[in-house]
Amino acid sequence: MSAWIDVASLDDFAASDAIAVAAAGREIAIYLVEGEVFATANRCTHGDAQLCEGFLEGHEIECPFHQGRFDVRTGAALCAPATVALATYPARIESGRIELRID
Ligand code: FES
């Protein structure tokens, strides 16, 4: 079982409810939704877009390129042209810090 990795501060969400971090050699997007954090691969599975620059509505992130949508809780692709799910990572808030587990 991998350890939790400290990757960001809750304060990093001051300007946006979606941020990007690099951890364990991966580009990961972290989303703040109603006081909870969720983490997925930052790159869209349809093209070369960064989801941290997309539009977050509830638990859905909309890709900034072609408006594919994903559920940030499961990574599931919700509408065309996105058809392949995103990788997801366990995420939590600990004393104002954001931690991820990356296997
Ligand atoms: Fe994301 Fe096309 S690059 S939907």
Bridge partners, 28 (sequence order)? 21, 41
Rounded CA Rg of the chain: 13
Q: Whose CA is nearest to atom 3 of ligand 1?
A: 47
Pocket test for ligand 1, best of 40, 42, 43, 44 (most atoms within 8 A of CB): 44
User: Which structure tokens are listed for 76?
Assistant: 């599931």
- CA distance linking residue 96 with residue 21, whole number of Å: 16
| CA of residue 72 to ligand 1 center, whole Å | 15
- CA distance linking residue 27 with residue 42, whole number of Å: 6
Instruction: List the pLDDT tens digit at each of the 103 positions of the chain.
Output: 679 999 999 999 999 999 999 999 999 999 999 999 999 999 999 999 999 999 999 999 999 999 999 999 999 999 999 999 999 999 999 999 999 999 8
| CA of residue 67 to ligand 1 center, whole Å | 6
Is the distance from CB of 28 to CB of 100 less than 8 angstroms? yes
Indicate whether residue 83 lines ligand 1 (CB < 6 A). no
The ligand 1 atom at the shortest distance from the C-alpha of residue 51 is 1
Domains in the chain and their CATH numbers?
4-101 (2.102.10.10)
- CA distance linking residue 3 with residue 7, whole number of Å: 12
